[in-house]
Amino acid sequence: MQALILALGLAASFYMAWSLGANDAANPTECAVGAGVLSLRSALILFAIFASLGAMLQGHMVMKTLGKGVVPSIDAVGALTTVLAAAVWITLCTYKGLPISTSQSITGAVLGYGLAVYGPGGVDWSVMSKVVASWLTSPVVAILMTVAVFKALRRLEGRPRGDEVVRWLLVASLCFSAYSFGANDVGNATGVFITLAGAGALGPHGMLLLAALGSCGIALGGFTWGYRVIETVAYRVTRIDLYSGSAAELVNALTVYLFTTVPYVLIGYGMPISTTHSSVGSVLGAGLARGHGINWLLVLIILCSWLLTVPAAAFMSLSLYKLASFALTLG
């Protein structure tokens, strides 16, 4: 029975990794694609390579037990139904081309499990409030930082070889951003298996194998469905050019990497943040800095999808857990 549970955990982890890659491939690539610096295929190849490197080299910094802090504990059935609910919601949004937060989806799914098992009193709402606060502040910080970096980069505009330097900076920022994404987000894909197997039982080699599994799923998701969200953010939110795109991508990469590494050095574990919120905030900052028009209707739709993510994932998780528990009682 334990072997079956672990096999299901691996399958769920891989599906979650695929959905992460499908939705979040846009985060490191949309600026280079939107600015016309790289083709979609070239950008996705770089995304796959550097996201895998980030997952393998520094993914352990954010890998954690699923739902730690939001609920007291989570059982095997809950771990499986939670990650399945989150992955299904991400898949649905990816199909519609909507960039959403995978961290939000996982947190919402864990919340649904907590309500099903412990009730409202068993959920640590103080942890939830801190998580929500980070979701609200990260896009605002990304907007402000992008405007500042754009003003600095703009000094190169019109100078000899200025465009060439910024072009290479944009490609380097894509690689850095993909690396940071792999390091920060692979934990969202592997959390279910860590919960089922026990982090202590895996050891360093087990964690490395999990990172490899997650990076393969993320790369596959990017190559199969990544274009759906990339096209939304790269072309439909605002017009991205070389300089505004470089500023946005550099800010997104720095934000994610610093949240991954600095807390790890200070408190022993990296902070999982919404790479999507940071990325979309950076693109909005690029549009505002350059003065390009912004499709505010699309931005409103994206914001609504963000607001719906937690309750939708929570409802799906609660429903799946109830159904699975009922089926087990019948069996």
pLDDT for residue 64: 58
pLDDT for residue 111: 92
pLDDT for residue 211: 79
Residue 208 has pLDDT above 90, yes or no: no
Share of the chain above pLDDT 90, in %: 50
What are the tokens at 89? 């919601």
Q: Report the DSSP beta bridge partners of residue 294.
A: 238
Kindly report, residue by residue over 38-73, the tens digit of the pLDDT.
999 999 999 999 998 988 887 766 555 555 677 888
Structural domain count, the chain:
1
Residue 205 has pLDDT above 80, yes or no: no
Residue 22 has pLDDT above 90, yes or no: yes
pTM above 0.85, yes or no: yes
Least confident of 53-57, 90-94, 173-177: 53-57
> What band does 200 get if pLDDT is binned at 50, 70 and 90?
low
pLDDT for residue 61: 62
pLDDT for residue 209: 80
Q: Is residue 102 part of a domain?
A: yes
pLDDT for residue 317: 95
To which residue do tokens 């096209």 refer? 231
Sign of the Cα pseudo-torsion (94, 298, 280, 273, in order): negative
Kindly report, residue by residue over 241-294, the tens digit of the pLDDT.
999 999 999 998 887 777 767 766 777 655 656 789 889 999 999 999 888 889
From the CB of residue 121, how many other CB atoms can be counted at a distance below 10 Å?
A: 7
Q: Report which residue type is found at 282.
A: S
Q: How far apart are CA 54 and CA 218, in angstroms?
A: 12
Q: Is residue 234 part of a domain?
A: yes
pLDDT for residue 203: 61
Q: Is residue 276 part of a domain?
A: yes
Q: How far apart are CA 283 and CA 303, in angstroms?
A: 14
pLDDT for residue 177: 87
Mean pLDDT confidence for 142-164: 89
pLDDT for residue 272: 58
**Domain range holding 128?**
2-326
Mean pLDDT confidence for 165-179: 92
CA distances from 204 to 19, 95, 210 (A): 25, 36, 10
What is the rounded average pLDDT for all residues in the chain?
86
Q: Is residue 263 part of a domain?
A: yes
Q: How far apart are CA 210 and CA 219, in angstroms?
A: 14
Q: Is residue 331 part of a domain?
A: no
Q: How far apart are CA 26 and CA 233, in angstroms?
A: 7
Residues 266, 268, 273, CA angle at the centre, nearest 5°?
85
> What band does 232 get if pLDDT is binned at 50, 70 and 90?
very high
Residue 171 has pLDDT above 90, yes or no: yes
Q: How far apart are CA 291 and CA 186, in angstroms?
A: 35
Torsion, CA 236, CA 242, CA 248, CA 252, rounded to 10: 100
Q: Is residue 177 part of a domain?
A: yes
More confident residue, 262 or 320: 320
Q: How far apart are CA 179 and CA 143, in angstroms?
A: 21
Kindly report, residue by residue over 96-111, the tens digit of the pLDDT.
999 998 888 988 999 9
| DSSP label of 68 | B
To which residue do tokens 């609910």 refer? 85
Residue 196 has pLDDT above 80, yes or no: no
Q: Is residue 186 part of a domain?
A: yes
pLDDT for residue 42: 96
Supply the DSSP string of 86-140, one letter for each residue.
HHHHHHHHHHTT----HHHHHHHHHHHHHHHHT-GGGS-HHHHHHHHHHHHHHHH
Q: How far apart are CA 69 and CA 76, in angstroms?
A: 17
Share of the chain above pLDDT 70, in %: 89
Q: Is residue 166 part of a domain?
A: yes
